[in-house]
Amino acid sequence: MSLLDMPPRRPPVTDSPDTPAASHGGAPSAERPAPSVGRPSGPADAHAPSADRDPRTSVSRDHAEDRTTRSDRINQLRAGVLGANDGIVSVAGLAVGVAGATTDIRWLLIAGLASLVAGALSMAMGEYVSVSTQRDTDRALIARTRADLAADPAGEHRHLLAALTESGIPDDVVGEVADSMERQDALTAHTRFRHGVEQGTVVSPLSAALASLLSFTLGGIIPLLAILASPPVLRLPATLVAVVVALALLGVVSARLGQADARTATVRTIIGGVLALLVTYGIGAALGVAIG
């Protein structure tokens, strides 16, 4: 037989990715297991949610942190506005009152600085004590509610039902709402809807004290510089202008931060500051005449 008459040789069968399992007798290869059915495998498993990770818990935690941040910001804003307003009015009132009694710049400087330092420290301590008292009261209420839930859960449940009903929830669904809230977080449900207190939003007294201290100092410096830098004849009008401008800016800023009507807040703040300034100046002038 010649080479031309021989049949062509077939290539050997190999285990390539395209080779079907039937070529080995229909059984799948032990080295290449068949993929599982009904669940994709691969990198997608790395992004699968964990069984013990509850999305509702994560959202609730983020919401509580947002409420805490907002509560602390509102607390600082309130303390800052109150401190700045008090600094402008009290320092200006004392300085103008002394100016009504004497024209000696040394006494004006002493009175202004004493009012600035004493007022700032007083405002800071007042805010710290006030907010600390509020914080202690809220924490005591939370602890008492926790103890009541442990001692009498049925009675506390009835109180929650009554509070939710008073808030406007219909009677036919209030039971389901109360049960759902208590399953999720019973303590938060009772403190928030019955007492208006939340565990994560207890305000910080230190932040309120610092905000009041800084704002009082910044507010009091404005009228003090105005009265010290003006000649005796222009001290009252210059201080009045400085106080009106400072109070107007304070009213606008506080209204913008609080998303309120700027005109109402500004007019109210200016009228109160000017009246306090005129009254203290009149008292100082009368005392100066009586003493002199």
pLDDT digits (tens, 9 = 90+) for 61-99: 454 455 555 656 666 677 778 888 888 888 888 887 787
Using a 10 angstrom Cβ sphere, with 0-12 exposed, 13-18 middle and 19 or more buried, the burial of residue 11 is exposed
Domain spans, the chain? 77-291
Distance (Å) of CA 198 to CA 79, 88, 179, 189: 21, 35, 19, 9
State the pLDDT at residue 152: 92
Amino acid symbol at 221: I
Q: Which of 33-47, 78-92, 253-267, 273-287 has the highest mean pLDDT?
A: 78-92
**Mean pLDDT of all residues in 46-50:** 40
Both tokens of residue 96? 């103008």
State the pLDDT at residue 16: 42
**Mean pLDDT of all residues in 231-241:** 85
92 near 59, Cβ under 8 Å? Answer: no
pLDDT digits (tens, 9 = 90+) for 153-210: 999 999 999 988 888 888 889 899 899 988 988 888 888 888 888 766 666 788 888 9
Distance (Å) of CA 226 to CA 93, 216, 229, 245: 12, 16, 5, 12
